[in-house]
Structure 1
């Protein structure tokens, strides 16, 4: 199992099915900054709050020349419904086979009420124009997170 990338590391390449059909790949963002955030499951409370927070700051991220991509293991059909329900203005990647999630070290063993299971660790990366990880947020708490990521994107220049 891979480790969560550290700042300065080259971001692992990926290509995923995305909402609305088609694919989304790391190379699509070449020369731009990218907020790559991982969330456990569409339409759950924390994931919905996080998506709405990033979406609400979409114009500010665009002004900072920064794109946003959300990724989960949900099927494309679930991503489509999630995006439509909350009118999200950024792409959602689908990784049901978890290859990309494993490459980024966010497919991890979790525990709830003493039961262990595999799931997605809520985490975010800010990838610079050079394709390298500029900043990381492992084990994200949703409140204030999108604003903190925006500030980092603005400072990255």
Structure 2
């Protein structure tokens, strides 16, 4: 009897495995701001913009403060990132970090970010040669493929 019970449980577990694997885990978020969220969706309004429209664009915090400036758009492992200058008040940039594009949002014409300056400072530093520069004349939605 125990043998049949064990076989039945094993069969049920094996039958449920595809359903478990298909579960949507895209809402999982990381507490570490230097790690991209599992949900890779980028704001559709942002994806309509061209790389040249984003370069030099200021990034504003939740309280409306100017926090950073986009230096470039890059790709790594098929994900888009913004290289941002968190020291943009000085003409010479010595602190560029990489921010997943899914962290940025358009609010009207302003580019916003729901992070503190301290969290920005803790992001991964941009490393030349590690990321592929995104080039092209079309909107990001066409260039991200």
Which category describes the TM-score, using the shorter chain as reference length?
A: under 0.3
Q: Which has the higher contact order (CA 8 A, sep 6+)?
A: 1
TM-score of the two chains, using structure 2 as the length reference: 0.26
Higher helix share: 1
Radius of gyration: which is bigger? 2
